[in-house]
């Protein structure tokens, strides 16, 4: 299979390999907990520096699932290695509202309008 090529739509240049083998952890449930552990490759735009993780290059996805007996051990091992290399693991949430510290654009606009007294 041909290698996927990521193009930055803002800068109109091809993304370049940034880091390979970054831990990717899918989060599931309420509250979200680690569900799957895998690895992905990061690509970065040489223009705006935006970084993406390529799902197409995931190898052996997932490496472990939550019900695997050694899931917690493998997860901690992957996180230790990542932190040791100063690599930020990538967490993938089921819903945008579950992402810590994130607020959807629609809610931001509503909050700002309330703060300005435009709506109650
Ligand atoms: Zn760019």
Q: Is 111 helix (H, G, I), strand (E, B) or coil?
A: helix
> In degrees rounded to 5, what are phi and psi of residue 119?
-135, 165
What pLDDT digit, counting tens, does each position of 94-103 carry? 888 888 887 7
CB 33 within 8 A of CB 27: yes
pLDDT value at 52 more than 80: yes
Q: How far is the CA of 86 from the centre of ligand 1 (A)?
A: 23
For residue 120, is it within any domain? no
Q: How far is the CA of 16 from the centre of ligand 1 (A)?
A: 11
Q: How far is the CA of 15 from the centre of ligand 1 (A)?
A: 8
When divided into structural domains, the chain yields a total of 1
To the nearest whole percent, how much of the chain has pLDDT over 70?
Answer: 91
Residue-level pLDDT at 94: 87
Residue-level pLDDT at 27: 95
For residue 23, is it within any domain? yes
Averaged pLDDT for residues 52-77:
85
What pTM was computed for the model? 0.76
Averaged pLDDT for residues 56-68:
78
For residue 38, is it within any domain? yes
Q: How far is the CA of 96 from the centre of ligand 1 (A)?
A: 23
Model confidence at 77, in pLDDT bands (50, 70, 90)? Answer: very high
Q: What domain range includes position 57?
A: 7-115
Q: How far is the CA of 50 from the centre of ligand 1 (A)?
A: 6
């Amino acid at each position: 299979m041909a290698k996927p090529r990521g193009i930055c739509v803002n800068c109109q240049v091809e993304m370049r390999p940034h880091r390979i083998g970054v831990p990717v952890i899918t989060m599931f449930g309420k509250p979200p907990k680690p569900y799957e552990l895998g690895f992905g490759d990061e690509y970065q735009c040489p223009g705006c520096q935006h970084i993406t993780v390529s799902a197409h290059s995931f190898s052996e996805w997932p490496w472990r699932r939550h019900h695997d007996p050694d899931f917690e051990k493998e997860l901690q091992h992957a996180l230790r290695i990542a932190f040791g290399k100063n690599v930020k693991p990538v967490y993938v949430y089921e819903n945008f509202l579950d992402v810590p510290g994130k607020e959807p654009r629609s809610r931001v606009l509503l909050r700002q309008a309330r703060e300005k007294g435009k709506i109650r």
